[in-house]
Structure 1
Amino acid sequence: MVAAPAEAANARTASSTTSARTAAAASVSAARISASRKARQKKRADYAVKYAYKQIGDRYRYGGTGPGSWDCSGLAGGSWRKAGVKLPRTTQQIYRAVKYKVSWKGAVKGDLLFFYGGRSHMGIYVGKGYMIHAPSSGKRVKKVKLNGYYKRNFHGAVRPGY
């Protein structure tokens, strides 16, 4: 059965209304986070970033969860664990588990940035356009500028600690 144009238009309107309600509900739920929870999250984020800075120069090791050697998700998880927030082990698990999603422009200090289609790499945003990450085999944990390459390969961000 084919819907008449008026019915199709009504269905599109209902769909866009539902989308608008969902977006409004998401922004309302973000607004519902209390000031004390926001302050606690910011304090934890600051601590996680400070810990990540201390790991600069450590070796990359696939599956590494520190101390001394890390992979990208191990570094993120270890930094947030030191700040009192337990995260799952892999990049995909972390992205799914942390419910507070963030945009590229909305990222703040402590947010976890994910890259590539399968979200197979991540780093900790440290502010002012930089992140700390454990890049790959043979390299060391380092702070890098988030340039066009990273923006092109960006595939989401989360804010742990709520």
Structure 2
Amino acid sequence: MTALNRVPSLMARAGTASALTLAAVGGSIVAPGLAPEAEAAAMGARALKVAASKKGAPYKWGATGPRRFDCSGLTLYSFKKAGKALPRTAAQQYNKTRHISVKNRKAGDLVFFHSGFGVYHVGIYAGKGKIWHAPKTGDVVRLEKIWTRRVWYGRVN
């Protein structure tokens, strides 16, 4: 039995107080808070790839894919394919994310456009000031530069 295979049984016998000590058995130390960040980044990267794969899909109000999307339908679909369920609307999605600052944004984070306190649009941050989104009726899913500073960022955990 390898050291990694013994960790769960050792943890069960030792209890949670010794969990960090036992995590070192496999040759690495688990730091609290880092695993969820890595998981969120990986999920965001997967969702970003899904959104990019929908380039050119027509906008349709209320549509959640797989061939037509509205803005929150695209983010819902992309994160669902990446393994995470989101609520339906942009405002509900904002309320379910961990809010982050512009300087802490990463590719795969959600970008919420707001007017005052109301969220009216959402896209997936692609890096370099751009998002993948489903803009409006008559348009298609596309990569576009963020056109305003009136945005909030959220990370899906």
TM-score by length of 2: 0.75
- In structure 1, the gaps of 5 or more residues are 1-31
Match of 1:48 in 2: 47
| Paired residues for 1:14-29 under 5 Å | none
**Other structure's SS at 1:105 match:** helix
**Other structure's SS at 1:135 match:** coil
Matches of 2:106 and 2:70 in 1, distance apart? 22
| Paired residues for 1:70-89 under 5 Å | 70-89=69-88
Match of 1:104 in 2: 102
Match of 1:158 in 2: 154
Q: Within the alignment, does 1:131 sit opposite 2:131 as a pair?
A: yes
Percent of matched pairs sharing the same residue: 38
Q: How large is the Cα RMSD of the aligned pairs?
A: 1.4
Deviation track 1:89-116 (CA, whole Å, cap 9, x = no partner) reads 0011111122x10122321111111113
Matches of 1:41 and 1:93 in 2, distance apart? 19
- Select between 37-46 and 134-143 the one with higher mean Cα deviation: 37-46
